[in-house]
Chain A
Amino acid sequence: MARIHLKNLDAVGRKHQKLLAGYKGLLLVCTGTGCVSAGGFVIRDSLQAMLKKRRLDKKWLVVQTGCNGFCAMGPILVVQPEGIFYEKLNEKSLEKVVEEHLVGGKPVKASMHKDLATGNPIPKMAQIPFFAKQQLVALRNKGIVDPENIESAIAMGAYAGLRKALTTMKPGDVLGEVVRSGIRGRGGAGFVTGVKWGACIKAVGPSLEHPERRPPVLVCNADEGDPGAFMDRSIIETDPHAVLEGMCLGAYAIGASEGFIYIRKEYPLAIERLEKAIAQARERGLLGRKILGSDFAFDIKVHRGAGAFVCGESTALMASMEGRVGEPRAKYVHNVESGYMGRPTVLNNVETWANVPVIVEKGGAWFGSIGTGDVAKSPWNGSSGTKVFSLVGNIANTGLVEVPMGIRLKEIIFDIGGGIPGGREFKAVQTGGPSGGCLPQSMLDLPVDFDSLTKAGSMMGSGGMIVMDDRTCMVDVAKYFIDFLKDESCGKCTPCREGLIAVSEILGAITRGQATEALLGELEGLCDTMAVSSLCQLGATAPNPVLSTLKYFRDEYVAHIRNHKCPAGVCKSLIRYEITPNCNGCHVCSRNCPTNCIAGEKKTLHVIDANACIKCGICRDVCKFDAVRVG
Chain B
Amino acid sequence: MTTQKVDKILDRWKRDPQYAIEILQDIQDEHRHLPADVLHYVADALALPVGRLYHIGTFFKAFSLKPRGEHVLEVCMGTACHVRGAPRILDALSRELEVPEGGTTKDGKFTLEPVRCLGCCAIAPVVKVGKDLHGEIQAARVKTLVKKLAEG
Query: Which A positions have Cβ atoms within 8 angstroms of B?
Result: 33-34, 36-38, 71-72, 74, 224-230, 233, 265-268, 303-304, 306-309, 320-326, 390, 392-394, 398-399, 430, 433, 464, 466, 468, 472, 477, 480-481, 484, 488, 490, 592, 594, 616-618, 621-622
Cα of A320 to Cα of B19 in the assembled complex, Å: 9
- In Å, the complex CA distance between A40 and B121 comes to 16
Q: Which of B20, B60, B61, B119 contacts A33 (CB 8 A)?
A: B119
20 A-B contacts (beta carbon < 8 Å) = A71-B120, A224-B119, A227-B117, A228-B80, A268-B131, A306-B24, A307-B62, A308-B60, A309-B116, A322-B18, A323-B16, A323-B19, A326-B59, A393-B124, A399-B122, A477-B83, A616-B92, A617-B88, A617-B139, A618-B88
Contacts of B44 in A (CB 8 A): none
Contacts of A324 in B (CB 8 A): 52, 56
Given contacts A307-B61, A621-B139, A393 and B122 within 8 Å (CB-CB): no
A464 to B, closest residue via Cβ: B79
Tell whether A230 pairs with B21 under 8 Å between CB atoms, given A306-B60, A394-B83, A594-B95: no
B99 CB-CB contact with A under 8 Å: no
Binary per-residue interface labels of chain B (105-144) against chain A in the complex, 1 for a CB within 8 Å, 0 otherwise: 0000000000111111111101000011111001110000
Chain A nearest CB from B60 CB (Å) reads 4
Whether A621 and B138, one on each chain, are in contact in the complex, defined by CB atoms closer than 8 angstroms, is: yes
Known: A37-B135, A393-B83. Contact between A618 and B117, CB under 8 A? no
Given contacts A34-B120, A594-B92, whether A393 and B63 have CB atoms under 8 Å apart is no
Across the interface, do B119 and A323 meet the contact criterion of CB distance under 8 Å? Answer: no
Q: Is the CB of B80 within 8 A of A393?
A: yes
Produce 1/0 per residue, B77-113, CB < 8 A to A. 1111011110010011001000000000000000000
Residues of B close to A303: CB separation below 8 A:
22
B residues near A484, Cβ cutoff 8 Å: 77, 116
Contact partners of B62 in chain A: CB under 8 A = 265, 306-307
CB-defined contacts of B60 to chain A, threshold 8 Å: 306-308, 320, 325-326
* One of B92, B118, B131, B135 near A38 (C-beta < 8 A): B135
Report whether B83 and A472 are in contact in the complex, using a CB–CB cutoff of 8 Å: yes
Distance A321 CA – B20 CA, assembled complex (angstroms): 9
User: A351 vs B62: C-alpha distance in the bound complex, in angstroms?
Assistant: 25
With A33-B119, A323-B17, A468-B83 as contacts: A304 and B133 at CB distance below 8 Å: no
Complex contacts, B83 vs chain A, CB 8 Å: 393-394, 466, 468, 472, 477
A392, B61: Cβ atoms under 8 Å? Answer: no
Do B80 and A392 have beta carbons less than 8 Å apart? Answer: yes
In the assembly, what is the distance between CA of A622 and CA of B139, in Å?
A: 9
Whole-angstrom distance between the alpha carbons of A323 and B49 in the complex?
13
Name the A residues within 8 Å of B78 (CB-CB): 227-228
Decide: A308 and B61 in contact? CB cutoff 8 A: yes
Please give 18 more A-B residue pairs, beta carbons under 8 A apart, in addition to A34-B123, A266-B115, A592-B140.
A34-B120, A37-B123, A37-B132, A37-B134, A224-B119, A229-B117, A229-B121, A230-B121, A266-B118, A306-B21, A307-B60, A323-B18, A323-B19, A324-B56, A325-B56, A398-B80, A481-B79, A594-B95
**Contact status A38-B123, CB under 8 Å:** yes
Distance (Å) between the CB of A357 and the closest chain B CB? 24
B148 at the interface (CB under 8 A from A): no
A36 contacts across to B, CB distance below 8 A: 133
Chain A nearest CB, measured from B112 CB (Å):
16
Closest-CB distance, A259 to chain B (whole angstroms) = 16
Which residues of the other chain, A, contact B135 by a CB distance below 8 angstroms? 37-38
How far apart are B97's CB and chain A's nearest CB, in angstroms?
13
> In the bound complex, how far is the Cα of B120 from the Cα of A224, in angstroms?
12
List chain B residues, Cβ under 8 A from A622: 140
A33 touches B120 (CB 8 A): yes
B19 with A71: CB separation less than 8 A: no
Minimum Cβ distance to chain B for residue A568 (Å): 10
- Which residues of B lie under 8 Å from residue A33 when comparing CB positions? 119-120, 133
Q: Chain B: residues with CB nearer than 8 A to chain A?
A: 16-22, 24-25, 52, 55-56, 59-63, 77-80, 82-85, 88, 91-92, 95, 115-124, 126, 131-135, 138-140
Q: Which of A33, A72, A265, A323 has the most CB of B within 10 A?
A: A323
With both chains docked as a complex, state the minimum distance between the C-beta of A576 and any C-beta of chain B, in angstroms.
16
- Cα–Cα, bound, A105→B20 (Å): 58
Pairwise interchain contact B121-A323, C-beta atoms closer than 8 A: no
Q: Do B139 and A616 have beta carbons less than 8 Å apart?
A: yes
Q: How far is the CB of B68 from chain A (nearest CB, A)?
A: 14
CA distance in complex: A468, B84 (Å): 9
Question: Would B21 and A398 count as touching, CB distance under 8 A?
Answer: no
Q: A398 — nearest CB in chain B belongs to which residue?
A: B122
Nearest-neighbour CB distance to chain A for B88, whole angstroms, equals 5
Determine the residue in chain B with the shortest Cβ distance to A427. Answer: B83
Chain B residues, Cβ within 8 Å of A71? 120-123
- Complex CA gap A79/B139 in Å reads 37
For A321, what are the chain B residues with a Cβ–Cβ distance below 8 Å?
Answer: 18
* Shortest distance from the beta carbon of A579 to any chain B beta carbon, whole Å: 16
Kindly provide the distance from the CB of A358 to the nearest chain B CB, expressed in whole angstroms.
Answer: 24
A617–B85 touching, CB < 8 Å: yes
Closest Cβ neighbor of A472 among chain B residues: B83
| Closest B residue, CB atoms, query A224 | B119
Q: Are B139 and A618 in touch, CB under 8 angstroms?
A: yes
Contact check, B121 vs A398: say whether CB atoms are below 8 A apart: yes
Q: Which residues of A contact B84 (CB under 8 A)?
A: 393-394
CB-defined contacts of A592 to chain B, threshold 8 Å: 140
Cβ A323 vs Cβ B123 within 8 A: no
**When the two chains form their complex, are residues B59 and A308 in contact, meaning their CB atoms are under 8 A apart?**
yes
Q: How far is the CA of A433 from the CA of B79 in the complex (A)?
A: 8
Residue from A74, A399, A466, A618 within 8 A of B79 (CB atoms): A466
* B82 partner residues in chain A, CB cutoff 8 A: 227, 477, 480
Which has the most chain A C-beta neighbours within 10 Å: B24, B61, B126?
A: B61
Known A38-B135, A307-B62; contact A72-B122, beta-carbon cutoff 8 A: yes
Residue of chain A at shortest CB distance from B18? A323
Residue from B122, B123, B138 having most chain A Cβ neighbours under 10 A: B122
Hey, which chain A residues are within 8 Å of B139, CB to CB? 616-618, 621
Of the candidates A233, A326, A621, the one whose C-beta lies within 8 Å of that of B119 is A233
Q: Which residues of B contact A398 (CB under 8 A)?
A: 80, 121-122, 124
Q: Is the CB of A325 within 8 A of B79?
A: no
In the complex, the answer to whether A616 meets B88 with C-beta atoms within 8 Å is yes
Bound Cα distance from A82 to B92, whole angstroms: 46
Q: Which residues of B contact A393 (CB under 8 A)?
A: 79-80, 83-84, 121, 124
Cα distance A119–B106 in the bound complex, in angstroms: 51
Pick from B17, B56, B80, B138 the residue with the most CB of A within 10 Å: B80
A325 to B60, CA, bound (A): 8
